[in-house]
Amino acid sequence: MAVLDNQITNASLKDITGALGVSLEEGAWISTAYLVAEIVVIPLTGWLSQVFSVRLYLLVNAALFICFSVFCAFATNLPQMILFRAGQGFTGGVLIPMAFLVILMTLPQALQPVGMALFGLSTIIAPSLSSIVGGWLTETYAWQYIFYLNVLPGLLLIAGVWYALPQRPTKLHLLKKGDWFGIVTMAIGLASLTFFLEEGNRKDWFVSEEIQKAALTTAISIPVFIIIQLVNKNPLLNLRLLLRRNFLITIITTMGLGLGLYGPTFILSLYLAQIQGYNAMQIGETIMWSGLPQLFITLLVPKLMRHIDLRLLLAVGFTLFGVSCFMNTTMTHDTGLEQLIPAQIIRALGQPLIITFQVATFGIEPNQIGSASAIYSMARNLGGSLGIATLLNLQSLRERFHSNYLVEKISLSNPITRDRIDQLTQIFLQHTSDPVQAQNQAYEVLDRTIRREANVMAFNDCFLFMGCALFTSAFLVLFLKKVKPAVNSPTNV
């Protein structure tokens, strides 16, 4: 639910902003509010679950997540929607690292690969399905149903936690020992960083005074937070875990995974909307091909983990993921669903093999699992946000580059260009008697063609960048220490 809600509003943003009577630029805060709240709460989950107990903490946040989801559906103006989306993010953000925590705390080691595979099934498929689920619900019913969607799974989650997790006493005395200065600097720093990444391109980066302030706040708060964590005897997050080779390499590659999970979906959605004119439903049907095959492949991952070196699985997964991006570097303005399916299937083959968390937590002491899961979840989210911000900037820069290049090649001194303009002018003269107007229309067609081709070439460059990043991750995993999960299954399995 938490991963799906991260992007599900994007497909329905036009309908939501229309109902609330605001512009698309203002409506961007609907997604940003969720992301800011989510990234702030993730580092707190390990500590707060100790204070209130895992069972109580999960029950309360799952219940609040359902409530905020329903409130979003009933929002009548933008401030209400932003407030309720922030509430969704603040409670939904708890669910991702808590899932790691529950798997590692409750399952025997032999069954942890199965638990992680099932968890991976949800977190990897959800970004792929967010577009089609959001688009289908909006077009078939109404945009409110993308929020009602959380009610039934939320109730099942509450029932499962209530039944399966043991009740533990709360430890409210830990609140007095909390790293409050660290919490404040972390919250301010991560909120500013997320705002900077999400809104930077939309506000033309450092031209905006708001972005300048966000960058300055981030530059001050994050280093202060890191220093506090390193000198504090009871830090909120044990950043010293990053001194362990496996954990550091896994965190770096996890940021690559974040880029891979959200970047291709984001760029492909832009291409299909801007170049092919697809609606949200058609975009979802295209991206779905990277999600559905994983339902079957993921079930094989636990068996593969028992017989194949995890480093090899990771390397193969990242490589296939990268190959799928490289396959999209040759798109033209005619590339549609049929041409994109092979790359989506290759992505589906590789994505379930990227079980980075299993490697990251190998050898981590039980009392450090909370910190490890929080740092891991932060890395993946920041990888996605940083990656999308980079892709937006790259797409804009490369579009201008290719546009300038094409304009230089397509000049009036080129006889081929003059012939094409004459052909277009003759076509438009069939509908008007004004030769000047017909020639101007020919120039407009040529201009639109140049912009379209420059955009397609820029999208190809974005996929090239993502492919290189994923190949780099595949190379880095070769430097991991060998990790061998337990192979002896319990007798009752």
pLDDT at 484: 64
The residue among 465 and 270 whose pLDDT is bigger is 465
The Cα–Cα gap between 435 and 456 comes to 32
For residues 282 and 272, the answer to whether their CB atoms sit within 8 Å is yes
Residue 409 corresponds to which tokens in the numbers above?
């090649």
pLDDT band at 485 (very low <50, low <70, confident <90, very high): low
pLDDT digits (tens, 9 = 90+) for 225-237: 999 988 888 888 8
Which of 170-184, 286-300, 339-353 has the weakest average pLDDT?
Answer: 286-300
Query: What's the chain's average pLDDT?
Result: 83
pLDDT at 319: 94
pLDDT at 11: 67
User: Smallest Cα–Cα separation from 48: which of 39, 61, 63?
Assistant: 61
pLDDT band at 223 (very low <50, low <70, confident <90, very high): very high
Residue 60 has pLDDT above 90, yes or no: yes
Question: What is the distance in angstroms between the CA of the first residue and the CA of the last residue of the chain?
Answer: 28
For residues 473 and 320, the answer to whether their CB atoms sit within 8 Å is no
pLDDT at 357: 64
pLDDT at 493: 30
pLDDT band at 455 (very low <50, low <70, confident <90, very high): very high
pLDDT at 490: 38
For residues 420 and 412, the answer to whether their CB atoms sit within 8 Å is no
pLDDT digits (tens, 9 = 90+) for 337-394: 889 989 988 988 888 788 766 666 667 777 787 788 888 888 888 888 788 888 888 8
The Cα–Cα gap between 251 and 321 comes to 18
The Cα–Cα gap between 427 and 425 comes to 5
The residue among 207 and 68 whose pLDDT is bigger is 68
Q: What is the arithmetic mean of pLDDT over 401-429? A: 77
The residue among 336 and 302 whose pLDDT is bigger is 336
Which of 38-52, 173-187, 282-296 has the weakest average pLDDT?
Answer: 282-296
Residue 438 corresponds to which tokens in the numbers above?
């017909």
Which amino acid would we find at residue 72? C
For residues 66 and 155, the answer to whether their CB atoms sit within 8 Å is yes
Residue 167 corresponds to which tokens in the numbers above?
């009740």
Return the top range by mean pLDDT from 407-416, 417-426, 448-457: 448-457
pLDDT at 158: 95
The Cα–Cα gap between 284 and 346 comes to 17
User: Cα–chain-centroid distance for residue 218?
Assistant: 21
pLDDT digits (tens, 9 = 90+) for 265-275: 888 888 888 88
For residues 39 and 378, the answer to whether their CB atoms sit within 8 Å is yes
Residue 320 has pLDDT above 50, yes or no: yes
Q: What is the arithmetic mean of pLDDT over 228-248? A: 86
The residue among 55 and 307 whose pLDDT is bigger is 55
pTM for this entry: 0.80
User: Smallest Cα–Cα separation from 481: which of 342, 310, 365, 335?
Assistant: 310
Residue 251 corresponds to which tokens in the numbers above?
């965190």
Three-state secondary structure readout of the chain: CHHHHHHCCHHHHHHHHHHHCCCHHHHCHHHHHHHHHHHHHHHHHHHHHHHHCHHHHHHHHHHHHHHHHHHHHCCCCHHHHHHHHHHHHHHHHHHHHHHHHHHHHHCCHHHHHHHHHHHHHHHHHHHHHHHHHHHHHHHHCCCCHHHHCCHHHHHHHHHHHHHHCCCCCCCHHHHCCCCHHHHHHHHHHHHHHHHHHHHCCCCCHHHCHHHHHHHHHHHHHHHHHHHHHHHCCCCCCCHHHHHCHHHHHHHHHHHHHHHHHHHHHHHHHHHHHHCCCCCHHHHHHHHHHHCCCHHHHHHHHHHHHHHCCHHHHHHHHHHHHHHHHHCCCCCCCCCCHHHHHHHHHHHHHHHHHCCHHHHHCCCCCHHHHHHHHHHHHHHHHHHHHHHHHHHHHHHHHHHHHHHHHHHHHCCCCCHHHHHHHHHHHHHHHCCCCCHHHHHHHHHHHHHHHHHHHHHHHHHHHHHHHHHHHHHHHHHHHHHCCCCCCCCCCCCCC
